[in-house]
Chains A and B, each alone.
Chain A
Amino acid sequence: MSAPTTRLENLPIDAVHAGFALLVLSVLFLLSPLFVQPPGGSFVFFEVGVLFFLYAMILVGLNLQFGHTGLVNFGPVAFFAVGGYTAAILTANDPYQAVGLGFPWPVGVVAAVLAAAALGILIGVSTLRLRDDFLAIVTLAVAEIVHGLIVAFRDVTGGTVGLTSVPRPIAGTTDAGGGAALVSTILIFAALALFFYGVFRRLSGSPYGRVLRAIRADDQVTETLGKRVFRYKVAVFVYGAAIAGLAGALLVFYNGAAAEGFFTIDVTVIVWVGMLIGGAGNDRGVIGGLAIIMGFQLITRFFNDAIPFITQDQFASIRLMFVGLLLMFIIRYRPEGLWGDADRLGVES
């Protein structure tokens, strides 16, 4: 089993190159008159796939924060939402009961990343000195505050209705219908996710990553070695915030809308559970974990119709019960996850 893996490791390209190449190819594909029309029944797979790549982007940032550095960020969705709403507000054209400034979409993307990073700096500088479990509460509270503000300031954000009339730049490259647009979107998102996965993997594999793991193991010892632990923590927090902000912008440009329902605590739960299943700190493992949990969500969709006497609401609840049980079992019996390193995470299994 190790031979092909080793050969793969020794290839002169890594995920950054591959992602970049795929990105160029998919842009060329979009600009060409070619298109792919997927079969009708497969749309649901593509839709979940689009979310998978966006959540994967959030996850590589979160994994750098928690898996490598040990920062317990329970509010990744806050940065996702700030990015999404920043992009939507700047680019929407005449949305219903909300602000839409009508700028071109690249402005929205850049502003989303900057806004999320700015929030990351603000939260990071103020809270990263707190103990683990209190950091968890604060970041969770930040996510709730962001959600509360989005709902309350309905003149700006559209409240529970959300913002519509957001441009859809990727879907706009083809007029071959929703299916072709979906394929284009997933190509671009996959390329971007692969690229950023590579970037964060390089970061964690470099001497920089060793410092992060030293901070996770013991931040006081790391401090005495002359590393400015607090700065590292803030930087890692901001990287994660920025990439989650970018993912948020991509989501609203994919949907052509922003709504508070896209940015609920469920996003945080899915990303966290995916990370824990895969094994926090293992870059490849966490993506595998996310694939497992989202694959579970996808497959169980088809069970719903098959089981009699169960309403849609009940089914959704049963699914969340399974997610909770899975989380409990992982924490109890395999805290290092499927592919994680128990020694490095400092857990006993």
Chain B
Amino acid sequence: MEIPLAQEIIFGLVIGSYIALGAIGFTLVYGLVNMINFAHGEFITVGAFVGYLAVVFGGLSIPMAVAVALAITAVVGWVIARVTFEPMNEAGAVPLLLMSIGLGLVLRNGFRVIAGADRRTIPRDVTTYRFDDWGFFVTSQQLFIIGVTLVAVVVLHVFLSRTMLGIAMRATSDNEDLALVSGIDTRRIRNAVWIAASGLAGVAGVMLAVSQSANPNVGFGQLLLIITAAILGGAGSPYGAIVGSYLLGIGITVSVAFLPSGLTELNATMAFVVLIVVLLVRPGGLVNAEVRTS
């Protein structure tokens, strides 16, 4: 069946939305802590389970569950980062990367031991709005996901551009040494980054639990897409990550129309091809970032 382009774009916006929620946090951590966090997907999974528990056992509404997951995941992520990554902050990119791989293995398999491989979906009422003249429909759930992401993006923008902490964050991301001599407490900044990144991951988790399911692999499954989006947008740039996420989301769905049938499952693979091509052709992403050595 032929799916109209407008419909593919709607699907792409939804996918882009939860990639964006993950990618913003990932790229903040990259820019300010200078590490590629392979355990970021597991922070998302924490959010998915917290959201699921809040709705199914806590009896909360989904928007309330988003708030709860945001808060709990922010704290959990911050505590984990303090215990694991902060003590080796000076160790360099590769040891931190390996540390996060170990952490990811521990958390992901920990979820599996506790929760099993079952797929638990948050029950919800879905209304479908049809726009037949334009050739697409959109569900209340999709609008909710896109809406939550837009709110998060606006809050992030206000935070980065209007608050002292946000401005200090951007300064530290640009040049940590300069920020340090300007009297910015970079330790405090890193704490704030972990809280913000984990909180956003928590929101992403609830979105995934609503649209897919809460299972031990749900966050990890998004990780390479998140990394791709962050690099596409220029590693370290939160605005770039947002643009990169939506480009990637729409790219994934629209490319289905151009892939031969039977190979449509390759579109995740295509995303990694995009990742490599971006790193080779324009390694700084859409804005400039430093990834080459020579």
Contacts and interface: CB of A to CB of B under 8 A. Distances in A.
B153 interface: no
Interface in B199-226: 224
Interface string B264-291: 0110110011011001100100000011
Interface size band for B: 35 or more
A138 B227 CA distance: 10
Interface string A246-284: 000000000000000000000001001000100000000
B292 A331 contact: no
B94 interface: yes
A313 B35 CA distance: 32
Interface stretch (A13-21, A125-133, A183-191): A125-133
B184 interface: no
A335 interface: yes
Interface in B110-124: 110, 112-113, 116-117
Chain A's interface: helix, strand, loop or mixed, by majority? helix
Contacts of B87: 332
Given A144-B272, A317-B113, A324 B106 contact: yes
Interface of B: 35-36, 84, 87-88, 91, 93-95, 97-99, 101-106, 108-110, 112-113, 116-117, 224, 227-228, 231, 235, 262-263, 265-266, 268-269, 272-273, 275-276, 279-280, 283, 290-294
A136 interface: yes
Nearest to B293: A131
Interface stretch (A34-42, A146-154, A164-172, A291-299): A146-154
Nearest to A311: B116
A44 interface: no
Given A148-B266, A331-B98, A133 B93 contact: yes
Contacts of A269: 101, 105
Given A137-B275, A151-B265, A325 B102 contact: yes
A324 B102 contact: yes
Interface residues of A, number: 47
Contacts of B99: 327-328, 331-332
Contact of B276 (A141, A151, A220, A313): A141
Given A137-B275, A332-B99, A320 B269 contact: no
A326 B98 CA distance: 11
Contacts of B106: 321, 324-325, 328
A138 B294 CA distance: 17
A130 B292 contact: yes
A246 B274 CA distance: 29
25 contacts: A129-B292, A129-B293, A130-B279, A134-B279, A134-B283, A137-B231, A138-B279, A141-B224, A141-B275, A141-B276, A144-B224, A144-B272, A145-B273, A148-B265, A153-B263, A269-B105, A313-B117, A314-B116, A317-B112, A317-B113, A321-B109, A321-B113, A331-B91, A332-B87, A335-B95
